[in-house]
Structure 1
Amino acid sequence: MDPNQVSPGRDRRIPSPISAAQAIQPSSPRLFFSAAAAASPGGGGGASHRRIAIAVDLSDESAYAIRWAVRNYLRPGDAVVLLHVRPTSVLYGADWGAIDPSAAEDGDSEESKRKLEDEFDAFTASKAQEVAQPLVEARIPFKIHIVKDHDMKERLCIEVERLGIGAVIMGSRGFGAARSSSKAGLGSVSDYCVHHCACPVVVVRFPDDGSGAGSGAEDPNKQDGPDRTGGAEEKPELHPLPQRQH
């Protein structure tokens, strides 16, 4: 029997996991490198202690999650990926800024659609650089990874596994048009990622009073909670309890 001949009862080719993953990706990812990542060995893709993804939807919640990560989670040697999944249609979930909708009224021509897509891509990249400012100020190498998909929850988990991410940091209130109006519990996206991501997921709760919607200009070395700079902490004065009369 010819050794190269395949028996009728066996599959001729078994698709690899890589080819299967490529088959479900609707578009190629777009990577934008920060100056710190480009200056680091291997352009930010070399050996590092950890590879951390921060899922962003370009909202105040995402900006707060980045600032929280800089203050409380990231450490020297970490490589950060800002992971953004934008809707396949720019008219769905595009609630982050003023993109002129009149472009969509010029007809359904491919040229007008392509123009709107290009404008939205440029806006997305610009906005991502804006929310990444705390990473720039802290000189933490990062990449901006943007993909398009109609299913944000599933695509986030796919990209996390495909990029070999060690941990994911994300806000607690959902993303884009799917942002939950309820302040209680996790949003639908973060809840899905907690149960389906192949790595640990850190969910950052956005302050209910909206105090986290700052510009990010605060000191990135400031730690939440007690002072950790080594200075003497002020001890609260303790008063004796009143004696109970019998």
Structure 2
Amino acid sequence: MICMRDRSRRGVARERMAAVSVGGGGRNIGVAMDFSACSKAALRWAAASLARPGDRLVLVHVKPSFQYEQGVAHLWEQQGSPMIPLVELADPRVSRIYGVAPDAETIGILTSAANQKGVEVVAKVYWGEPAKKLTEAAQGIPLHWLVVGNRGLGAVKRQAHPYISISLSSLWVLMGSVSTYVANHATCPVTVVRENLPPPPPPPQPPQPVATAASYY
């Protein structure tokens, strides 16, 4: 798991998190969600290791611009859909209006997070290019943290020479274009979670405070 973000935007992110802390409210924790295995790994990590009571867990789902399951979708193309509460996201009759079809596993993770961690769960749908829309979501919602899944180095890693060290800048390229773009342009801390990350351990009792500064692994 790698946590990183554009250093030039660190001050902006810290100011946002400080404002939330002073105000006594929770944070907006975003998770990029396409319902793939790697995005579910990111969701599990965010729910278990990052979210805390009072936070809002925001699923950010990006669909191609040309796919409009419902005629009203064009009304949301620029700013994204309204926030979709968990009860509506779990109802196929409602979620299909937004062009979203969450599977039972994803709903189970979200329900557990809401019940066990005391977080509010919502989703927001955007239409367009994933990397740019995720970056827009970070600023527009706004998010105080964004978690993105990644399938790992895969074939590229196997082709690499075992004695060649990989710099952080090279690792960004290997991680994939979406996570690379988001890590460089998002206005909040960005955590990239590999699909093959082991399941997170149970949270300590009592819960320990979560650091608000970005970490590097």
How does the TM-score come out when normalised to structure 1?
Answer: 0.49
1:18-33 matches, cutoff 5 A: none
> Paired residues, what number?
142
Give the match for residue 192 of structure 2: 203
Distance 1:229 1:159, change over 3 A: closer
Report what 1:14 is aligned to.
none
Match of 2:102 among 112, 121, 127: 127
Which amino acid in the other structure matches residue 145 of structure 1?
A: K
Work out which of the residue numbers 131, 137, 155 in structure 1 matches 2:112: 137
Is the 1:66–1:132 Cα contact (8 Å) retained in structure 2?
A: no
CA contact (8 A) 1:173 1:183 kept: no
Q: 1:114 to 1:124 in 2, by over 3 A?
A: closer
1:87 aligns with 2:76: no
Please give the per-residue CA displacement for 1:197-235, whole angstroms capped at 9, x wherever unaligned: 011101111118xx77xxxxxxx8725xxxx459xxxxx
CA distance in 1, matches of 2:106, 2:149: 13
SS in 2 for 1:76: coil
Q: After superposition, where does 1:154-233 map in structure 2 within 5 Å?
A: 154-173=132-151, 182=155, 184=157, 185-207=174-196, 222-223=202-203, 228=204
CA contact (8 A) 1:85 1:152 kept: yes
The separation in 1 between residues aligned to 2:107 and 2:176, in whole angstroms, is: 22
Q: C-alpha distance in 2, partners of 1:62/1:155?
A: 16
- Whether contact under 8 Å (1:128, 1:144) holds in the other structure is no
Higher-helix-fraction structure:
2
TM-score by length of 2: 0.55
Show structure 1 runs of 5+ residues with no match: 1-45, 92-112, 175-179, 213-219, 231-246
Query: Whose relative contact order is higher, 1 or 2, with alpha carbons under 8 Å and at least 6 apart?
Result: 2
The alignment partner of 1:49 has SS state of coil
- What is the match of residue 30 of structure 1? none
Structure-2 change in CA distance of 1:59 and 1:71 (3 Å):
same
Q: Residue 57 of structure 2: SS of its match in structure 1?
A: strand
* Aligned 8 A contact 2:151 2:196 in 1: no
SS in 2 for 1:192: helix
Deviation at 1:125, TM superposition (A): 2.5
Paired with 1:158 and 1:83, the residues of 2 have a C-alpha distance of 11
* Residue of structure 1 equivalent to 2:130: 152
Name the SS for the 2:59 alignment partner.
strand
What's the C-alpha RMSD, in Å, of the aligned pairs? Answer: 3.5
Identity value in percent: 28
Contact preservation (8 Å) 1:173, 1:190: no
Residue 89 of structure 1, CA deviation: 2.9
2:26 is paired with a residue whose SS is coil
Per the TM alignment, residue 132 of structure 1 is displaced from its structure 2 partner at its CA by 3.8
Distance in 2 of aligned mates of 1:195 and 1:138: 29
Is 1:68 equivalent to 2:48 in the alignment? Answer: no
TM superposition shift of 1:133: 2.2
Tell me: CA distance 1:128–1:160, structure 2 relative to 1, closer, same or farther (3 Å): farther
Secondary structure of the structure 1 residue equivalent to 2:35: coil
Q: Distance in 2 between matches of 1:129 and 1:161?
A: 30
